[in-house]
Chain A
């Protein structure tokens, strides 16, 4: 970590002496300057981070952040015109496309963790998700202990189901935990009363509730069942100069009222294409993360 910090400091000093000439540029900045283009990788169904709207155009919270970052890169390089190209990516193609230079930024809901940092770099965290549960409002479930003796569902093969199993064993809550094959089926089980609660990433739960027939009939627990997990915009590893520009741009954006407005736009207001409203006001941890932007993969840092 010390070495990374030192590199960052050097990079920031370099970045401060903008606009730089093409000779001393390296890596992605050099590539962007020469091509006059920056390529953004977007996801097609990662609501509300990066997805296609009704007219098949990419939109979303992370996507807008990337557009702002592209503006910052343009200003840093002193270009009159920067061509922002778009390239769709999936969870399976994002790493190869970043590695081989097809895309320069990946804008979506990619979790930043220590294992992944060995393969790619992440800029400042733009969202924190945590494991919570959704239940019908009439059941009055809000804290982990309220689940004592209840039937709980989660999606098989996720880390969430592992977490709730561990909590169940550690606290002796005697929950009956059912695996469902996907998020939609798990939510359906809560809807039809076959399960009392569905344990999942809070942002996914918010999207399921918002898209349901009666969004006001559900509540998401205030107590989280895991520590926050950071999402970040992904870029190529070992490209300190480019990362410094991106870090500076995202930090400035997240600290500004504009960043807050951007969050509110995607998480507390109706979003395209169907005008659903996630009603997910900024959490305490997220507010902290915006005040002092960080690219740490460690949940304890938030």
Chain B
């Protein structure tokens, strides 16, 4: 291997003018975190709604939920990213479309929406599984007490289901975090994009991607630590 290693490269100024290569990667990390958090808000809320819909005793709600999940789960994420970014503005009225195209940070908003809707389909399936995992008696007991369906879900089913779901939802969150890298294809300057441009400028490709990998791992470890803490705090005393 004829390769010149230079770990000091991170402290050298980047040709973009502002700061060092390390600053460049850290700004990418900040965009990655921001995109992951914003899209998770959409994914969790929408995913919960769709997941609940698929467990309701209503055919229409079931069908709508199933259609959503199959649509967003079966189209590759990269294709969805392109559809949101390149196709959607063309389908809107011309003025609205060009306003969207000229919006500053358009790749960021697009990535948040796209990832949010994509991950929501996966969250929905987890939520459905979580609710289905509960004994049927729980819903029946709630209804027998005179609670409405809404009250039964809110007070009985969902609090139990979410506790079961914490570990798989943590995985889903980590997936979402790593999926933000797909947004580099529509021009979001997140961590992977920054590592790529760093190797483009400096030709130190292994250093750039090693640093990016370590940052992803560190970030995921923080998330896992946070999830474990949360799991402990919400555990029902005396429960399993």
| Chain A interfacial positions (CB closer than 8 Å to B) | 91-92, 95-96, 98-101, 115-116, 118-120, 156-157, 159, 162, 178, 181-182, 185, 236-239
- The answer to whether B179 has its CB under 8 Å from any CB of chain A is no
CB distance from B184 to the nearest CB of A (A): 11
Closest-by-CB residue of B relative to A27 is: B2
Given contacts A91-B200, A96-B205, A157-B197, contact A238 B2 (CB under 8 A): yes
Q: Residues of B contacting A182 with CB < 8 Å? A: 187
Cβ–Cβ contact A118 & B6, under 8 A: yes
Cβ–Cβ contact B206 & A237, under 8 A: no
- The answer to whether B25 has its CB under 8 Å from any CB of chain A is no
- State how many residues of chain B have any CB contact under 8 Å with chain A: 25
Cβ–Cβ contact B203 & A156, under 8 A: no
Cβ–Cβ contact A92 & B203, under 8 A: no
Cβ–Cβ contact A99 & B187, under 8 A: no
CB distance from B121 to the nearest CB of A (A): 27
Cβ–Cβ contact A99 & B2, under 8 A: yes
CB distance from B198 to the nearest CB of A (A): 11
Cβ–Cβ contact A95 & B199, under 8 A: yes
In Å, the complex CA distance between A116 and B206 comes to 14
Cβ–Cβ contact A119 & B17, under 8 A: no
Pairs across A and B, CB under 8 Å, 22 listed: A92-B205, A95-B205, A98-B2, A99-B3, A100-B1, A100-B2, A101-B1, A101-B2, A115-B202, A118-B6, A119-B204, A120-B203, A157-B187, A157-B197, A159-B15, A162-B16, A162-B17, A181-B107, A182-B187, A237-B2, A238-B2, A239-B2
Q: Residues of B contacting A101 with CB < 8 Å? A: 1-2
Closest-by-CB residue of B relative to A119 is: B203
Cβ–Cβ contact A181 & B106, under 8 A: yes
In Å, the complex CA distance between A192 and B184 comes to 27
Q: Residues of A contacting B202 with CB < 8 Å? A: 115-116, 119
- The answer to whether B196 has its CB under 8 Å from any CB of chain A is yes
In Å, the complex CA distance between A181 and B206 comes to 27
Closest-by-CB residue of A relative to B200 is: A91
Cβ–Cβ contact B204 & A99, under 8 A: no
> What does the 1/0 interface line of B109-138 toward A look like (CB < 8 Å)?
000000000000000000000000000000
> What does the 1/0 interface line of B164-198 toward A look like (CB < 8 Å)?
00000000000000000000001101000000110
- The answer to whether B201 has its CB under 8 Å from any CB of chain A is yes
Among candidates A91, A119, A159, residue contacting B4 with C-beta atoms closer than 8 Å: A119
Q: Residues of A contacting B107 with CB < 8 Å? A: 181
Cβ–Cβ contact A95 & B197, under 8 A: no
Cβ–Cβ contact A156 & B2, under 8 A: no
CB distance from A176 to the nearest CB of B (A): 12
Q: Residues of A contacting B205 with CB < 8 Å? A: 92, 95-96
Closest-by-CB residue of B relative to A121 is: B2
Cβ–Cβ contact A181 & B199, under 8 A: no
Q: Residues of A contacting B2 with CB < 8 Å? A: 98-101, 236-239
Q: Residues of B contacting A98 with CB < 8 Å? A: 2
Cβ–Cβ contact B1 & A116, under 8 A: no
Q: Residues of A contacting B197 with CB < 8 Å? A: 157
Q: Residues of A contacting B187 with CB < 8 Å? A: 156-157, 181-182
Cβ–Cβ contact A157 & B189, under 8 A: yes
Cβ–Cβ contact B201 & A115, under 8 A: yes
CB distance from B207 to the nearest CB of A (A): 10
Cβ–Cβ contact A118 & B203, under 8 A: yes
Cβ–Cβ contact A237 & B199, under 8 A: no
Q: Residues of B contacting A185 with CB < 8 Å? A: 101
CB distance from A162 to the nearest CB of B (A): 7
In Å, the complex CA distance between A95 and B3 comes to 9
Q: Residues of B contacting A100 with CB < 8 Å? A: 1-3
Cβ–Cβ contact A99 & B6, under 8 A: no
In Å, the complex CA distance between A105 and B31 comes to 37
In Å, the complex CA distance between A116 and B15 comes to 12
Q: Residues of A contacting B15 with CB < 8 Å? A: 115, 159
Closest-by-CB residue of A relative to B189 is: A157
Q: Residues of A contacting B16 with CB < 8 Å? A: 162
In Å, the complex CA distance between A143 and B196 comes to 34
Closest-by-CB residue of B relative to A181 is: B187
CB distance from A290 to the nearest CB of B (A): 26
